Amino acid sequence: MGSKSDNKGKGTFQPDSDVHITIDDQMKINKFANYNAKVEDLKEDLKLRQNELKNLEEAGDEIELLDEDTPIPFLIGEVFISHDQPKTQELLAEAKEKKKREIESIQKLTKDIQDKMGDLKAHLYGRFGSNIYLENDE
């Protein structure tokens, strides 16, 4: 299976003559590793969405400085459509709310997976003690 250093983010088992790994145990170790990889992907996605939200907020701040009748291009799909300041602010508010919901959804999913990882971790450490090493930055 390898050493701790070459399996970053994965559960690894350190063989010992007194410990027997069942297929169920190996499946739980693999599930933990898969959950850990999913959490890392979600963290990257969360950073991306938080940055997008920040950009929307900064755009809103900049738009407030413009005259109400100034046409402001707003990206809808793949096309920019110009609107006045009030309509653009409304569209930005909707986009920010959508982004906040996406962020909350990612955070909830991450927490749910981390809870499952905690259960698996407790079971596996209970079964194997110091013979197993489960990396998790929690």
Identify the sign of the CA torsion 75, 78, 80, 81: negative
For residue 124 the two structure tokens come to 């596996």
75 phi, psi to nearest 5 deg = -80, 120
User: To which H or E segment does residue 13 belong?
Assistant: strand 11-13
Distance CA 53, CA 95 (A): 8
Rounded to two decimals, the pTM is 0.77
**Rounded Cα gap, residues 138 and 134, in angstroms:** 11
The segments of the chain whose pLDDT lies below 70 read: 1-19, 136-138
What are the backbone dihedrals phi and psi of residue 51, each rounded to the nearest 5 degrees, phi first? Answer: -65, -40
With contact defined as beta carbons under 8 Å apart, do 56 and 99 qualify?
yes
Distance, in Å, from the CA atom of 48 to the CA atom of 58, rounded to the nearest integer, reads 15
Amino acid, single-letter form, for residue 69: D
Task: Determine the pLDDT at residue 5.
Answer: 42
pLDDT at site 12: 60
